[in-house]
Amino acid sequence: MHVLYFHGFASSPQSAKIVALRPLLAPAGVELETPDLNAPDFGHLDWNAMVERALDAARRHPPDAIVGSSLGALVALEIVRRGIDAPLVLIAPALGIGARWLMHLPAGDPILVFNHASGTDEPIHRHFFEQMNDVDADREPPEVPVVVMMGRRDQTVPFEVVETRWREWEDKGVKPGSRFIELADGDHGLTSFADLITAEIVRAATSHRR
């Protein structure tokens, strides 16, 4: 089974979750493809370039499931909206927070942010956050089954914001098999829930094969 995994903001294909998940998924026959979404690079990050890189990966090797972590969840939703047909597993998804980023940005351009991939503060241009203010990939429920996994103790993406968006999706109609999984002790990283995430990825990929 082939699964696409999209990492989050200021992260990389070597993120802690990806490192934790690979050895757990391999025995189940899951090959994890993890494109680098820092496109064209982190300092010049561009939403459209991220989506094109993700679409290219999905078209070259159609996935049995797509996993999106944090900002990567929005990328996953966007490529499904553009015609990629695969169930979604969204981990601590950055739903409904585009405007919040702008509200909390410091003055100036570029802006220094902590990059988890390098372990240091790195500059990124302000325009990226202005782009994200207009992204609406999560406005409508996806046209595929979707599992949202969200920790109550998420320190980056407010649980209540994600839960509200999920309720909006439910009201509009989610596909059969879609679920919202609340993790009472979960933070944004959710690495301690790697076994559960693995099970959901395998379940999603297997269902697509049937």
At 172, is the secondary structure helix, strand, or coil? helix
CB 58 within 8 A of CB 208: no
**What CATH number belongs to 2-209?**
3.40.50.1820
- pTM listed for this prediction: 0.95
The model's pLDDT over 20-63, given as tens digits with 9 standing for 90+, comes to 999 999 999 999 999 999 999 999 999 999 999 999 999 999 99
The model's pLDDT over 134-176, given as tens digits with 9 standing for 90+, comes to 899 999 999 999 999 999 999 999 999 999 999 999 999 999 9
pLDDT at 210 over 70: no
- Which band of pLDDT confidence, cut at 50, 70 and 90, is reported for residue 74? very high
What residues form DSSP beta bridges with 67?
Answer: 5, 89
CA atoms within 13 A on the CB side of 198: 20
Instruction: Match 């351009």 to its residue by tokens.
Output: 109
The model's pLDDT over 179-193, given as tens digits with 9 standing for 90+, comes to 999 999 999 999 999
CB 61 within 8 A of CB 36: no
- 140: nearest Cα among 163, 173, 164, 101: 173
Give me the residue spans of the domains in the chain.
2-209
Q: Tokens in use for 203?
A: 């379940």
- Mode of pairing for the β-strands spanning 2-6 and 65-69: parallel
